[in-house]
């Protein structure tokens, strides 16, 4: 990993090249949004102590590789981010992480510990 930009975007080295990666199926708070900096820190903490691989799904209109991040044992790190309450399941693109979001909501993990968190897709409309 080169750098974490925010809670769902990072720069990584893939096949010897630096690429910008948008995590598939998750949407983290924007940096200027409540819990945004904490979400970025959550992703940094998740990635800092381990090697991970990318399962690239597609390239988005912004040129980012949209990917699922997997740890060395094949554990889905996108799911982990949602279950820790650091991001929403981005239902517009995938329903895969909705059950993990429910776990986070029910346990009031991360952003679910505050009253009425605003989803990033609503925040961006402001």
One of 3, 11, 20, 22 is an active-site residue; which one? 22
Catalytic residue among 3, 11, 20, 30: 30
Give the alpha-carbon dihedral of 100, 32, 113, 79, to 10 degrees.
Answer: 10
From 40, 64, 84, 100, active-site residue: 64
> Dihedral, CA atoms, 80, 83, 88, 93, nearest 10 degrees?
60
Residue 40 annotated as catalytic: no
30 flagged as catalytic: yes
Question: Taking the chain, what is the end-to-end CA distance rounded to the nearest angstrom?
Answer: 32
Number of other residues whose CB lies within 10 A of the CB of residue 104: 23
Residue 49 to residues 30, 43, 44, Cα–Cα distance (Å): 24, 11, 9
The reply to whether 126 belongs to the active site is no
| Residues annotated catalytic, as ranges | 22, 30, 64
């Amino acid at each position: 990993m080169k750098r974490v930009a925010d809670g769902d975007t990072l720069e990584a080295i893939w096949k010897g090249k630096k690429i910008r990666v948008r995590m598939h199926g998750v949407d983290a708070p924007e940096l200027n949004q409540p819990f945004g900096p904490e979400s970025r820190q959550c992703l940094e903490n998740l990635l800092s102590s381990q090697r991970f691989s990318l399962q690239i799904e597609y390239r988005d209109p912004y040129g980012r590789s949209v990917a699922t991040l997997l740890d060395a044992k094949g554990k889905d790190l996108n799911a982990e981010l949602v279950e820790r309450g650091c991001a929403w399941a981005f239902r517009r693109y995938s329903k895969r992480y909705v059950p993990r979001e429910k776990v986070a909501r029910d346990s009031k993990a991360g952003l679910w510990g505050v009253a009425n968190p605003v989803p990033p897709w609503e925040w961006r409309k402001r």
